[in-house]
Amino acid sequence: MKELLLIPGPTPVNEEVLKEISKQPISHVSKDFAFYIEKSIEYLKEIFGTKKGSILIIPGSGTIAMEMAIKNLLNKNEKALVLSFGFFGDRFLEILEEDGFMFDFIKSEWGEVIDLNLITEKLKKEHFSVITITHVDTSTGILAPVEDYLKVIKEFSPDSLIILDGVCATGGVKEKMDEWGIDVILTGSQKALSVPPGLAILSVSEKAMEKRKHLGKIGFYYGDFLRWKETMDDPIKYFATHNTNYTFGLKKSLEIILSEGLENRFRRHYENANFIREKMDKIGFKVFGNKNYLSPTLSLFVYPEGVDDEEFRKKLHEKGITVASGIKNLKGKVFRMGHMGEVKKDELEYAYEKIIQVINR
Ligand SMILES: *Cc1c(COP(=O)(O)O)cnc(C)c1O
C-alpha cells in the first residue's frame, strides 16, 4: 500500500534527502562539515531572496525561531504589533506575553485577511518597534497579502522591524526579503523545504542584527542571534553542536528545490492546489476561506453534510492517506490537506481516489 503523508508538516521527504541524513555524522567543527553549512546558506539566500541577510540554521522547531525573532529584536520598553490571521499568528501573542513584552494586535476572522485600513489606522496612532506577519497561517490555509501590507507599513512606520513567519510558506511561495524590506524571515525544515522536523531557519537583515547588538543581554543564551551568527559565519567556531545529519539533508533538499527552479516550483504548488480543490469541489467538499487569498501549500476542505471527521480521517488513514484535523473552532468541520514540497500531482490524484472510496462507503 502506498502511504502518503498529506498533513501541513511534516511533509514527505525525498529518498535522496533521507540517504544523506542516514550517513555517519562527521565532526561539527570540521572543514568538511563547514561546507554543508556554507552551501546551505548560499541556497537559502536564494530562496529567501536576500543577499545581505544572515542565515541561521538552528537545531529546533519553527517555534524557537519565532521566539528568537522576538527576543532578539525587542526592548522591554518597546511595543510589538501582531497581525494575526489564526492560530500561528496568535502564537506570537503568547510568546510576547510569556516573555514579558508590550504588544498590541489586529486579528482577522479565520479564513479572512486583515483590512489594510485597520493597519493604517493603528500605525498612525502609535509606534511599534516590531511588526509580525504570518505568511501562511496553517490553521486557516490563508496566504497573507504581504506585499500590500508592507507598502502600508513602509509608508506609515518605515522604521518598524518586520518579522515574517514563513513556516508554511518558505520554499512553496515567493518570498523576497530584500526587495520587500523584511527584517527576519523564519521557517522550519519540515514544511515546504521537505526535510524532516528538526531545524529552525532564520534570515536576519543587517538592520535587525544592528538592533540586536544594541540590546545588550537578551536573556536567551541558546537563541542569541549573535552567538549563532558567529558559528554560521565560520562553522569551525563552536557555539552549540550543529545538527550535522539534518544539515546534510537540508543541503540536498535545497539542491533539489533549486534544480526544479523557484518559479517552476511555485507554479507547481499553485497548479496542484487548484487541481485538488476543483476535484474536491465536485464531490461536495468546498475549500474553506476567502478565495482571493488561498495558500498554494495547503487546503482546508469543509465536510459535506453527513461526513464525520474522526471516522473519515481514520478510514482514509487505513487506506494509507494521512490528513490533519481542523484546529480550534474548525475542529470537526474541516480537514487540512498539505500539498507542499515533494507532493506530486499524481499523488494528489491517488489521494482523491481514496477519498472517493471512503465517502462512498
Ligand atoms: C508549523 C508552524 C509553526 C510552528 O512550527 P513548529 O515547527 O511546529 O514549532 C509556526 N508557524 C506556522 C505558520 C506554522 O505552520
Q: Which mean pLDDT values do the consecutive 10-residue runs of the chain (361 residues) have?
A: 94 98 98 98 98 98 98 97 98 98 98 98 98 98 98 98 98 98 98 98 98 97 98 97 98 98 98 98 98 98 97 98 97 98 98 96 58
Please calculate the CA angle 70-68-77 and round it to the nearest 5 degrees.
30
Dihedral over alpha carbons 70, 75, 79, 83 (to 10 degrees): -10
pLDDT at 127: 97
Q: β-strand 298-302 against 334-338: which pairing, if any?
A: antiparallel
pLDDT at 360: 87
Tell me the CA–centroid distance for residue 272 and ligand 1, in Å. Answer: 22
pLDDT at 1: 78
Note whether 225 and 207 are within 8 A (CB): no
Out of 165, 189, 246, give the residue to mutate to test ligand 1, the one with the largest number of ligand atoms within 8 Å of its CB: 165
What number does the ligand 1 atom closest to the CA of 8 have? 15
pTM summary value: 0.98
Tell me the CA–centroid distance for residue 168 and ligand 1, in Å. Answer: 7
Structure-block grid coordinates of residue 262: 523557484
Q: Is 168 in the pocket of ligand 1 (CB under 6 A)?
A: yes
Out of 167, 175, 184, 246, give the residue to mutate to test ligand 1, the one with the largest number of ligand atoms within 8 Å of its CB: 167
With b for 16 or more beta-carbon neighbours within 10 A and e for fewer, the 216-242 pattern comes to eebebeebbbebbbebbeebeeebeeb
What number does the ligand 1 atom closest to the CA of 65 have? 9
Tell me the CA–centroid distance for residue 255 and ligand 1, in Å. Answer: 23
pLDDT at 361: 58
Tell me the CA–centroid distance for residue 18 and ligand 1, in Å. Answer: 22
Tell me the CA–centroid distance for residue 283 and ligand 1, in Å. Answer: 30
Backbone φ, ψ for residue 345 (5° rounding):
-60, -45
